[in-house]
């Protein structure tokens, strides 16, 4: 069964550094997402991406965050200047093989645990 893959599985970085989290969505999916989950808290939406542009973003997704799909397979989340409170599990997800109205569920990657020290 096709799956979403994320790398690295764990990233440790110092406050103020830039990190790039990588994801390879399922190949024929059209909609891509980043979610995060702070330890012990709920899964929070960050951003959705469709047709090579951001379609929606949450208030968490401020100017320090950016997403790219540079080569048609990878989908990356960049955090420009990490803060301690960015420490969380970051999940990439993809869905949808059709256009227009779509009921398909999200398929998640295994996540990247980001630790900011």
Partner 1 sequence: RKEVEQDPGPFNVPEGATVAFNCTYSNSASQSFFWYRQDCRKEPKLLMSVYSSGNEDGRFTAQLNRASQYISLLIRDSKLSDSATYLCVVPPRGSARQLTFGSGTQLTVLP
Q: Taking the alpha carbons of 42, 9, 57, 28 in that order, is the dihedral positive or negative? A: negative
- 20 or 60, CB closer to partner 1? 60
- 70 or 105, CB closer to partner 1? 105
- 18 or 27, CB closer to partner 1? 27
Distance CA 22, CA 68 (A): 10
Tell the smallest beta-carbon distance from residue 47 to partner 1 (Å): 8
Q: Which of 43, 41, 42, 83 is nearest to 62 (CA)?
A: 83
Binding site for partner 1 (CB under 8 A): 30-31, 33, 35, 42-45, 48-50, 55-56, 58, 89, 91, 95-96, 98-103, 105-111, 113
């Amino acid at each position: 069964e096709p799956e979403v893959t994320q790398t690295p599985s764990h990233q440790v970085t110092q406050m103020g550094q830039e990190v790039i989290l990588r994801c390879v969505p399922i190949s024929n999916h059209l909609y891509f997402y980043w979610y995060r989950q702070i330890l012990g808290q709920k899964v929070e939406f960050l951003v959705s991406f469709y047709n090579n542009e951001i379609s929606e973003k949450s208030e968490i997704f401020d100017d320090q965050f950016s997403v790219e799909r540079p080569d048609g397979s990878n989908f990356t989340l960049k955090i420009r200047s990490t803060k301690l409170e960015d420490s969380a599990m970051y999940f990439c997800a993809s869905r949808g093989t059709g256009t227009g109205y779509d009921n398909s569920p999200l398929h998640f990657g295994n996540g990247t645990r980001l630790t900011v020290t």
